[in-house]
Amino acid sequence: MRYRTIFISDTHLGTRGCKADLLLDFLAGHDAEYIYLVGDIVDGWRLRRGWLWPQAHNDVVQALLAKAQDGAKVFYIPGNHDEMMRSYLGTHFGGIEVMATATHVTADGRKFLVTHGDQFDSIVVHAKWLALLGDHAYVFALWLNTKTNKLRQLWGGQYWSLSKWAKQQVKQAVNFISEYEKVLSAEARRGHFDGVICGHIHSANISKMNGIDYVNTGDWVESCTAVVERFDGSLHLIDWAGVKRRRQIVRDARAAGIAPAELRERRKRKREDA
């Protein structure tokens, strides 16, 4: 599938939570004229505490470099976890340009501010120690999430994100996400942009915020999402983990000789009976 633009953020290469295999699968089947890496691509915080770099993580880097060599214009906008890259603003690595922020104009003429977004997170800016503490808690939640899903698979349960559920349930987290969206949208308005494209909070979203197009690319740790621009300028959110789950259900249903809806219903009953 070819698009005009692909926006990806928060892959967190160098961590156990990174879904590098799913990201490689996505990159293999999707090309674009422009690719924006919207921060936290490599997790420098985690790598400083202990080196972890599986082959799949290296393959992701090679896949991105290959797209640049094939003619895609690739822009790397560092975030807080890969803030070391902010020392190289204006330089190129294998055809990938490092930028603090970017301005992207869609095919239909809308002007977007592209930024990771951590500059507008008061905790990251004013209390980095608290952000680091939160990072430890987040890693623990991902570890617990993995264990929980292994148990769920025993009775055919689908993947469930513990941390995503927590974000939706905990009022303070919901309020933080809402405030973050408002602040980024206000910044776009101040800069006379039509919208903002960001990452950072691992909460994928495309919506209108008081007349401003707010776009968050999500992440490749939990939700495995990206935002794409079609050649008509329209922006769309791709939930690649969801796409893969739906395709697997179709394959399993064909193998069982039943309709996908019936297979889903059987698995639902199995979970309820467990």
Question: Which domains does the chain show, CATH number per domain?
Answer: 2-128+167-245 (3.60.21.10)
Query: How does residue 267 score in pLDDT terms, banded at 50, 70 and 90?
Result: confident
**pLDDT interval class at 45 (50, 70, 90):** confident
Name the residue with tokens 């202990």: 50
Query: 187-191 long-range CB contacts below 8 Å, 24 or more apart?
Result: 187/113, 187/120, 188/112, 188/113, 188/212, 188/214, 191/113
pLDDT-based confidence at 120, cuts 50/70/90? confident
Helical packing angle, 128-153 and 162-169, nearest 10°: 120
Residue 206: name the closest of 198, 196, 216 by CA. 216
Structure-block tokens of residue 177 = 């996400």
Residue 32 has a pLDDT of 98
Q: Which of 167, 146, 131 is nearest to 45 (CA)?
A: 131
**pLDDT averaged over every residue in the chain:** 85
Taking a C-beta distance cutoff of 8 angstroms, is the pair 114, 38 a contact? yes
The band of 131, judged by pLDDT with boundaries at 50, 70 and 90, is very low
Under DSSP, is residue 191 helix (H, G, I), strand (E, B) or coil? coil
Q: What is the mean pLDDT of residues 118-130?
A: 52
What is the C-alpha to C-alpha distance for residues 160 and 157, in angstroms, rounded to an integer?
Answer: 8
Separation between Cα atoms, residue 193 and residue 214, nearest integer Å? 11
What's the pLDDT at 266?
84
Question: Nearest CA to 120 among 166, 167, 177?
Answer: 177
* 2 confidence band (pLDDT: 50, 70, 90): very high
